[in-house]
Amino acid sequence: MSAANRAGTRTGDHTFPKVPFTPDMKKTHTILVPQMLPIHFELIAGVLRQDGYNVEILKTDHKGIAEEGLRSVHNDTCYPALLVIGQFMDALKSGSYDLDKVALLISQTGGGCRASNYIFLLRKALHKNGYGHIPVISLNFSGLEKNSGFSLSARALVKMVAGLLYGDFMMSLYNQCIPYEQNKGDADRVVDKWTNALLAQMHGPGFVRLKSNYKRILADFLAIELDSSREKIKVGIVGEIYLKYAPLGNNNLERYLVSEGAEVVNSGLLDFIMYCIYNTLHDHELYGGKKGVKRAAFRFAMWYTMRKQREMISVIKENGTFSPPADFARVIEMSEGYLDHGVKMGEGWLLTADMLELIHSGVQGIVTAQPFGCLPNHIVAKGMIRKIKQSFPSANIVAVDYDPGASRINQENRLRLMLANAKMLKGVTTLEYTEEPDEAVPSAAASPRREMAEAVG
């Protein structure tokens, strides 16, 4: 155990002890998890329950969560951290839980982003509110923190990847159905049906029979009666991982865009997981390091997740009705000529690559959702817009900042301007290039980064 873990969290002159989650707590404690992606997190929670943990996803979304966060941490704290901590504090103060038998789970990416330090802010907030005895569990694959009572079996890890794939699959089909439904609620009913069905399958081998389930889920989405005569503009969403997905963080951005006549295009959560794995491998390429078991494990994880993602994409392609997500190997090569893959703070090169992939896929608008004080994402998102527009002058990108003091009216006004531009661009079917070919995004055959991706995937 590191010296930091033994000593606890140090802030100023105060030390907040790290309370361990022990093996005995697995049987007695309820683990609270903040919400980010409803479909994905329900399935991930199901995997954890199957592995013996009592997990509850926090679904609260009222205004008091941000206010609770402001009371618990500094108002200049990263907005996603403020909301996550506020949601935890709101739950603990609700009276719904036995405070002697509850634990909190939070993820750590292991990168240079402040997200890796949320856990220390959370412990400080717990101490401040008189809950310093409550254990905090770190879900990470970088060895940042360990708890003797929390570990995932190999079976659970495989099922967790399956849960992410099912979540990405259903999210993609759902987004392509919801704007065109003849009978409102049909897409939600399909998602609910299959979320429950997949949770029930976790007790047997059915859950990991991905292709069979994909085809049955696809059949139910195909049965939804859609009005294809209603043309919609396509709007992609990129940004900081929490604000990109969490309705609590982005003021229900997806619902707002659909209400304004748009079809939302959003890359899957698995892309972010593969981005983190890829960065670890790329660090070995840049800085060297031992070619041990850990590196081999990351190479296998990259190969396995890319292979499984391609299986999912192939099922959608074979049917031909819906547009499949982009292959991550294609996403990897998209930033070529724009950002080096050594740029990995926050969402790093992935955010820029996502914008370029969306442009190539034919969207008419892109929203980049970012915390107001998030310097890395301002650089790789807002800071790259001019460079992208040099290559694609018709690119319609709007950066929207989110923080406790941000005006929702101002946010929606910026979105409306982007949507108005998108409607004018609806008739544009070809991309306009203005740079020389060697500076544009290269072909698959010419990309050294695709070669690296293919080597592991």
pLDDT at 229: 83
Q: What is the pLDDT of residues 214-242, one digit of tens each?
A: 999 999 999 999 998 888 999 999 999 99
Residue with tokens 């442009």, as numbered in its chain: 359
Give the mean model confidence (pLDDT) for residues 384-402.
94
Share of the chain above pLDDT 90, in %: 65
Whether the predicted pLDDT of 284 surpasses 90:
no
Whether the predicted pLDDT of 189 surpasses 80:
yes
> Identity (one letter) of the amino acid at 16?
F
Whether the predicted pLDDT of 442 surpasses 80:
no
Whether the predicted pLDDT of 70 surpasses 50:
yes
- Which residues, in sequence order, are CB contacts of 85 under 8 Å at separation 6+? 69, 72, 73, 118, 121, 122, 125
More confident residue, 292 or 106: 106
Tell me which residue of 101, 82, 78, 80 sits closest to 90, measured CA to CA. 82
Give the mean model confidence (pLDDT) for residues 128-152.
83
- Cα-Cα end-to-end distance for the chain: 34
Q: How far is CA 13 from CA 9, 276, 328, in A?
A: 11, 34, 45
Q: Give the relative orientation of helices 154-177 and 186-201 as an angle to the nearest 10 degrees.
A: 170
- Which residues, in sequence order, are CB contacts of 416 under 8 Å at separation 6+? 260
pLDDT at 263: 96
Q: What is the pLDDT of residues 196-205, one digit of tens each?
A: 999 999 988 8
pLDDT at 230: 80
Whether the predicted pLDDT of 428 surpasses 50:
no
Q: What is the pLDDT of residues 308-361, one digit of tens each?
A: 999 999 999 999 999 999 999 999 999 988 999 988 888 899 999 999 999 999
Whether the predicted pLDDT of 148 surpasses 80:
no
